[in-house]
């Protein structure tokens, strides 16, 4: 097949790049292309990477300070709901597969370690449903952004206990950890809901790989704007 392509190029015939067409149409990378050695070109971005980190620090610091005014009301609501802890520390998979601990407002009665959170999950508290809809449960993660565990934009960090099983089920799955995970990402703004099965996770991986290949200031800005749109619409799990 490769010889046929070279021959067509020499003869001046038009050659169509299937992978590029697929990406242009669906804004994601076809997993089948990885079997053919399709490069993601994870080259160092001499300007982008430092700029993104500086922006993460500035935004998380300012937004974190402003959001402190909401803490008393959220904590009180959680306490009045079921009397449990206001915060929860969750184990997630960070860059390079390293385990990180992120802090969130508690929205569930029990841990989600090793288990997908599904729509209508009975573990989600009454106040937790509101916090998840508005994404207010994730406000404390601004500390993790400031610390450098995660970024504002990037693939969502996997739940520890699930990643290991997914790596067995999905080829190339661990590639998504070569960049720092984020609060929001390309998969989150393109999928209607978080993955709740292996097949849905494959689709998420396709979006994550697209982000890894094309990540830039412009793409991050696009994700941020679409995230604001989702927040305004009140959709979420």
What local confidence, expressed as pLDDT, does residue 82 receive? 87
What local confidence, expressed as pLDDT, does residue 195 receive? 84
The 10 Å CB-count burial string (b at 16+, else e) for 48-77 is: eeeebeeebeeebeeebeeeeeeeeebeeb
What local confidence, expressed as pLDDT, does residue 23 receive? 82
What local confidence, expressed as pLDDT, does residue 217 receive? 94
Taking residue 165's Cβ as centre, other Cβ atoms within 10 Å add up to: 13
What local confidence, expressed as pLDDT, does residue 196 receive? 81
- Distances in Å between the Cα of 162 and the Cα atoms of 47, 97, 114, 178 are 34, 12, 5, 18
pLDDT in tens for each of the 237 residues of the chain? 456 555 655 666 565 666 777 787 888 888 877 765 555 655 556 789 899 999 999 999 999 999 999 999 999 999 999 888 999 998 999 999 899 999 999 998 866 565 667 666 778 899 998 998 889 999 999 999 999 999 999 999 988 878 778 888 888 888 899 999 999 999 999 988 888 888 889 999 999 999 998 999 999 999 999 999 888 876 655
Reported residue count of the chain is: 237
Contact, 116 vs 196, CB < 8 A? yes
Contact, 113 vs 91, CB < 8 A? yes
Contact, 97 vs 177, CB < 8 A? yes
Q: Which one, of 234, 162, 166, lies nearest residue 203 by Cα? A: 166
């Amino acid at each position: 097949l490769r010889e046929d392509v070279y021959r067509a190029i020499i003869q001046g015939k038009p050659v169509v790049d299937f992978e590029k067409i697929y990406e242009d149409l669906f804004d994601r990378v076809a997993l089948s292309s990885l079997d053919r050695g399709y490069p993601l070109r994870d080259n160092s971005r001499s300007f982008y990477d430092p700029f993104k980190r500086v922006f993460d620090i500035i935004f998380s610091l300012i937004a974190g300070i402003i959001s402190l005014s909401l803490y008393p009301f959220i904590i009180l609501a959680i306490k009045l709901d079921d009397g449990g802890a206001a915060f929860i520390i969750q184990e997630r998979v960070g860059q390079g597969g390293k385990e990180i601990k992120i802090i969130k407002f508690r929205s569930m009665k029990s841990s989600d370690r090793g288990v997908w959170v599904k729509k209508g999950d009975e573990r989600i508290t009454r106040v937790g449903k509101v916090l998840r809809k508005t994404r207010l449960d994730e406000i404390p993660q601004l500390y993790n952004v400031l610390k450098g565990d995660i970024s504002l934009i990037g693939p969502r960090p996997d739940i520890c206990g699930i990643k290991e099983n997914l790596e067995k089920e999905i080829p190339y799955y661990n590639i998504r950890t070569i960049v720092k995970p984020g609060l929001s990402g390309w998969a989150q703004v393109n999928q209607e809901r978080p993955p709740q099965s292996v097949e849905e996770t494959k689709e998420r991986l396709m979006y994550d790989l697209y982000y890894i290949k094309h990540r830039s200031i412009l793409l991050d800005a696009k994700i941020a704007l679409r995230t604001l749109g989702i927040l305004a619409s009140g959709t979420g799990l």
